[in-house]
């Protein structure tokens, strides 16, 4: 007997970004564009096309495009039940819609809606409560990408380490270790120079200028069982980026693992 989904979940917000509708479309509706500010993405760029977001080694989210109206509207569904390891009958797909509205002055407003239906389980409510916190920082990435790196392909670096701590305490330790400072500050972070673009809730975004231009996202989040994860995700835009990645990724990993966290 299948479970009838009874509880709707919905998250809506909008962001204003620099660029023409065509430039914004490239960023939100192509694999190259999505990979430059979100997660490594594979996408068949058409109505009905397959979609895959990589979330780390052997982990990802699969889906397909259900609405395709260049350069104004894209809708895609992800297999939420598979992603959460649940019964396929218990959860409907997770649907995301992006609508691009051109503004005067060379900007566009992107309206984003994510929605789904579930069983009303406690974990679903908690997941949706956290979704805005986890989802919104990526749209700071989108703003920064379109303002400074439109159309460019990213080389992505991502490392993380688990520690016996809560996310808030770990964030304080991480921020102090990196010397993040305040928004607008020029900083040097482990040999890279940049400007702090945003400091949010257990998350910061730095625009890197040297030695490789790009964006650096720094974050912590709870893992449960008295543990939290400290993570760094960089989007690098340069021919030198792959060599920089090979050199710096293991160094970042070791540095995160060595954060001064007491049990």
User: pLDDT tens across 56-114, in order?
Assistant: 777 889 999 999 999 999 999 998 877 777 777 777 888 999 999 999 999 999 999 99
The domain total for the chain is 2
Residues 141 and 162 in one domain: no
- Same domain as 160, residue 137: no
When pLDDT is averaged across residues 17-25 and rounded to a whole number, the result is 98
Same structural domain, 168 and 74: no
Cross-strand bridge partners of residue 15: 110
What CATH number does the domain containing 116 carry? Answer: 3.30.530.20
Question: What is the domain extent for residue 101?
Answer: 7-148
3 state SS of 30: coil
Asked, for residue 228, whether it belongs to a domain, the answer is yes
One domain for residues 57 and 129: yes
Q: How many angstroms separate the most distant Cα atoms in the chain?
A: 59
Tell me, yes or no, whether 104 and 177 share the same domain.
Answer: no
Residues 228 and 113 in one domain: no
pLDDT at 42 over 60: yes
Could you tell me if 168 and 67 lie in one domain? no
Q: Are residues 14 and 51 in the same domain?
A: yes
Report the percent of the chain where pLDDT is more than 90: 74
**CA atoms of 43 and 56, how far apart (whole Å):** 17
Would the pLDDT of 5 be above 50? no
Q: What is the mean pLDDT of residues 114-133?
A: 78
Question: Are 46 and 135 in a shared domain?
Answer: yes
C-alpha 78: how far from chain center = 15
Q: Are 10 and 4 in contact (CB under 8 A)?
A: no
Give the domain-ending residue among 107, 132, 148: 148
């Amino acid at each position: 007997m299948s479970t009838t989904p009874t509880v709707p979940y919905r998250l809506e917000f909008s962001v204003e970004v620099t660029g023409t509708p065509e430039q914004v479309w490239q960023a939100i509706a192509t694999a190259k564009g999505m990979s430059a500010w979100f997660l490594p993405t594979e996408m068949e760029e058409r109505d009905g096309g397959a979609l895959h977001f990589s979330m780390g080694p052997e982990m990802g989210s699969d889906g397909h495009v259900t609405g395709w109206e260049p350069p104004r509207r894209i809708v895609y569904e992800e297999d939420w039940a598979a992603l959460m390891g649940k019964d396929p009958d218990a959860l409907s797909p997770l649907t995301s819609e992006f609508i691009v509205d051109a503004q005067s002055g060379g900007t566009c407003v992107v309206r984003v809606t994510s929605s789904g239906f579930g069983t009303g389980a406690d974990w679903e409510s908690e997941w949706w409560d956290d979704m805005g916190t986890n989802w919104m920082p990526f749209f700071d990435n989108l703003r920064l990408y379109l303002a400074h790196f439109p159309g460019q392909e990213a080389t992505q670096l991502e490392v993380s380490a688990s520690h016996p701590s809560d996310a808030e305490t770990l964030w304080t330790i991480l921020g102090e270790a990196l010397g993040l400072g305040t928004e607008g500050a020029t900083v040097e972070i482990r040999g890279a120079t940049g400007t702090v673009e945003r400091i949010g809730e257990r998350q910061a975004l730095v625009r890197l200028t040297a030695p490789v231009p790009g964006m650096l996202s720094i974050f912590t989040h709870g893992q449960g069982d008295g543990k939290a994860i400290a993570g760094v995700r960089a989007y690098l835009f340069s021919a030198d980026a792959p060599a920089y990645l090979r050199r710096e990724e293991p160094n970042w990993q070791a540095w995160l693992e060595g954060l001064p966290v007491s049990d």
